[in-house]
Amino acid sequence: MAVIEGRGPAPALVLSLALGLPDTSLTVALASGGRDHYGWGVDRHMAADTFDAINANTRATGNWAKGKAPKLPQWPRPKSKPKAKTTEPGEKKKPVSVADIYKQYQRR
């Protein structure tokens, strides 16, 4: 609120602080798709991908009877929320102004 009203820290400072957050923070998780992504940084995604690659390699190179290769599970990953429905191709969206955003903050 204070930044929108012109008081408080400069928007450039707030942006630089937000961009400096660790990739496992809740703010980054919410921007990535929801609370399920909390704690999922680059290192965790790489570990899950490595696990899946080892399973795929094991399945591909194993000495299984024909058609008897086991189904190896993938590492469970967070689910993203479905994207909001976009407007129709011919339909134009009304642009949102800073004043409209400010009014939304005033209602609360």
pLDDT score, position 43: 92
- Domain that residue 50 falls in: 1-61
Tokens 């942006």 belong to 15
Two tokens, residue 23: 């990739």
Q: In this predicted model, what pLDDT tens digit does every residue of 3-21 receive, in sequence order?
A: 677 788 887 888 888 888 8
55 belongs to a structural domain:
yes
| Domain count within the chain | 1
CA angle 43, 47, 49 (to 5 degrees): 115
pLDDT score, position 86: 63
pLDDT score, position 82: 67
102 belongs to a structural domain:
no
Low-confidence stretches of the chain (pLDDT beneath 70)? 1-3, 81-90, 107-108
Claim: this prediction has a pTM higher than 0.85: no
pLDDT score, position 53: 95
42 belongs to a structural domain:
yes
Determine the number of helices (DSSP H) and then strands (DSSP E) in the chain: 5, 0
pLDDT score, position 90: 67
pLDDT score, position 3: 63
Task: Answer for the pair 52, 72: CB distance below 8 angstroms, yes or no.
Answer: no
